[in-house]
Amino acid sequence: MTQRGSAVVEFALVVPLVLALVLGLVEVALVARAQLEVVNAAREGAREAAASPDPSDAVRAARAAGTSIGSQTRRGWASGRGTRDVAVSRGWPLPRRRRR
């Protein structure tokens, strides 16, 4: 086998591994971003719940801080006019299967 041929074979063996590593890092970054979004939404909802007697204000604040609400849950609390629990969740979009 020539030098050029062995380089092509090595490249073909390494590219899938590098691609899997890069895609894994992107996925971890997306999950970390979603986690930070949920924590921030819980914090904002708890802050509003402590300042306002109306529970719907806390819901509006949490929804404004987070873009989508769904399945991942975090609890936040704040004290001011009593202690209140605020639960915020975020859905994770699943890829749709193609119909054949």
Does residue 62 lie in a domain region? yes
- State the pLDDT at residue 76: 52
- Let me know how long the chain is: 100
Examine the pLDDT at 95 and tell me if it is beyond 70: no
- State the pLDDT at residue 59: 80
Does residue 13 lie in a domain region? yes
Helix, strand or coil, per DSSP, at residue 65: helix
Does residue 54 lie in a domain region? yes
Does residue 74 lie in a domain region? yes
Does residue 95 lie in a domain region? no
pLDDT bucket at 25, cuts 50 / 70 / 90 = very high
Half-sphere exposure of 15 (CA within 13 A, CB side): 6
64's tokens: 């404004």
Main-chain dihedrals φ then ψ at residue 77, nearest 5 degrees: -140, 155
53 within 8 A of 84, measured Cβ to Cβ: no
pLDDT bucket at 13, cuts 50 / 70 / 90 = very high
**In terms of residue numbers, what domain contains 68?**
3-89
16's tokens: 């899938």
Q: Which tens digits make up the pLDDT trace of 52-77?
A: 888 788 888 887 887 654 544 555 55
Does residue 69 lie in a domain region? yes
**Residue owning tokens 């004290």:** 79
Task: Please name the helix (run of DSSP H) or strand (run of DSSP E) that holds residue 34, with its range, or none.
Answer: helix 3-51
Number of domains within the chain = 1
Does residue 63 lie in a domain region? yes
